[in-house]
Amino acid sequence: MRPINDVDVMNKEINIQEKTAVIIIGGGPIGLELSVALTRQGMANVVFEAAQVGDAFMRWPPYTHFFSTPEHVAIAGVPLHNLSQQGITGEEYLAYLRTVVELFDIDVRVYEPVTAVEKQPDGSFWVRTEKKGQTAVYQAQYVIFANGGMAAPRWLGIPGEELPHVTHYFPGPHPYFRTKLLIVGGKNSAAEAALRCWRGGAQVSLSYRRPWFDPDRIKPHMRDDLKDRIEREEILYYPATIPVEITPTHVVLASTEDGVSPNGHTTKVEADFVLLATGFVADMSLLARTGVQLENREYCSDAPVHNPETMETNVAGVFVAGTAVGGTQHRTRHFISTSHDDVIRIVRALTGQTPPQIGTIAARNNAVTWREVMAN
């Protein structure tokens, strides 16, 4: 794709569809919260979403509950209540996000992915999008990337990973009723899938590359439940193993002492289905093409370089918010609860004002950020 330039405009090849102060890339909770906060400060903005609002939650298995409590994932000061007063489901959260969009009439353009962001000599940005095969170009003074960090599964690159009975996305327990299911992974998603599928009537085996689970990576109630199931041999556990080959009938697991490298010992595990709960990777290619520098950190890779006080990247006028701040996270540090901070910092940087209401926790509404609350 060739870059847009002044010659294009002179030749009228490029027609600026619309001008606005801020373009937000990503229609997840933080992108929507940014839109509301900026609008409250009188700053025009448009949100572009490649799929549908809250797309990441559309890929959750049915009836999956948040580990965070409702007040931590509520946005824009709109309370999030449910009947149980416990963690809400993905379906409930999608309904909540739709409510927020309609309540504030957020200008969100769904199914219109951004394909290019180019800075112009006057400091503004031309943002190219595509929808139904049609290209459009918008102009903005600022661009905020809030496009998440779970663009694609983390592939293992082993033979058989592409077979039809293998998936990286958990569809819920019902497809595995009365079948043999091997789950690979050792964090919350793997533990939850193992427990739900076992209770849903599957014969569950679980492979993890370490001898036992990191207590900081599995919620306590699931960790204790899973420990009981494994000790009773209701769920078969293959510790310190990694899959090296998947066939239509079985999976070859290789023993490993360091969690990475096979040591020569292998085990064949029969499996009708294989769920690879091995995590997800971010797609930071659009940021890179925009000129944003990416770096590796202790807990993540391909994370955008930015000023933590303003969330502005090395490209003046380009900001980053939400889980996109962490690129591909190996240990989760950026999620909805911590990302309310990003909204506060960006709005302060762009308007000089503190958002009047972020989330539903009183401390945050008074511009005390999540990190400051946790520190006290």
Tens digits of residue pLDDT in 73-102: 999 999 998 888 888 999 999 999 999 999
Full-prediction pTM beyond 0.85?
yes
Over range 56-64, report the average pLDDT: 91
Q: What percent of the chain has pLDDT over 70?
A: 91
Q: Comparing C-alpha atoms, which of 193, 231, 195 is closest to residue 212?
A: 231
Over range 330-359, report the average pLDDT: 89
Beta bridge partners of 16: 137
Beta bridge partners of 128: 116, 137
CA 205 to chain centre: 27
CA distance 130 to 242: 40
**Candidate from 6-10, 110-114, 346-350 with smallest mean pLDDT:** 6-10
CA distance 201 to 276: 19
Q: What is the mean pLDDT of the chain?
A: 90
pLDDT for residue 83: 84
Q: Is pLDDT of 56 > 50? A: yes
pLDDT digits (tens, 9 = 90+) for 5-33: 544 543 346 789 899 999 999 999 999 99
Over range 201-223, report the average pLDDT: 92
329/191: higher pLDDT: 191
Q: Comparing C-alpha atoms, which of 283, 289, 315 is closest to residue 302?
A: 283
pLDDT for residue 262: 77
Over range 205-220, report the average pLDDT: 91
Over range 223-233, report the average pLDDT: 96
- Pairing type for strands 108-109 and 45-48 reads parallel
Q: Specify burial of residue 298 (Cβ count, 10 A radius: 0-12, 13-18, 19+).
A: exposed
CA distance 174 to 197: 8
Domain annotation for the chain: domains and CATH numbers:
6-151+280-375 (3.50.50.60), 155-276 (3.50.50.60)
pLDDT for residue 337: 86
CA distance 318 to 294: 13
pLDDT for residue 375: 44
Q: Is pLDDT of 367 > 50? A: no
3/314: higher pLDDT: 314
Instruction: Return the half-sphere exposure (C-beta side, CA atoms, 13 A cut-off) of residue 118.
Output: 15
pLDDT for residue 219: 87
57/5: higher pLDDT: 57
CA distance 167 to 183: 10
Over range 328-350, report the average pLDDT: 90
pLDDT for residue 84: 82
